[in-house]
């Protein structure tokens, strides 16, 4: 199935 990246995790890690 398609999985969508969690933006919260993406930006908080950045």
Partner 1 sequence: MLEARLSQSMVLKKVVDAIKDLVQDCNFDCNDSGIALQAMDNSHVALVSMLLKAESFEPYRCDRNIALGVNLVSLTKVLRALQNDDLVTLKADDAPDSLNITFESSTADRISEYDLKLMDIDQEHLGIPDTEYAATVTMPSTEFKRICTDLQAMSESVTIEATKDGIKFSCAGDIGNGAVTLRNYQNVEKEHLNVDIELTEPVSLTFSLKYLVNFCKAQPLSDRVKICLSNEVPLLVEYLITGTSYLRFYLAPKVRD
Q: Which residue has the tokens 């950045």?
A: 14
Nearest distance in Å: CB 11, partner 1: 4
Nearest distance in Å: CB 13, partner 1: 9
Nearest distance in Å: CB 1, partner 1: 6
Query: Where in 1-14 is the site for partner 1 (CB under 8 A)?
Result: 1-12, 14
Torsion angles phi and psi, residue 4, rounded to 5? -105, 130
Cα–Cα distance for residue pair 12/3, rounded to 1 Å = 19
Q: Contact positions toward partner 1, by CB under 8 A?
A: 1-12, 14
């Amino acid at each position: 199935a398609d999985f969508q990246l969690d933006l919260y995790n993406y930006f908080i890690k950045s």
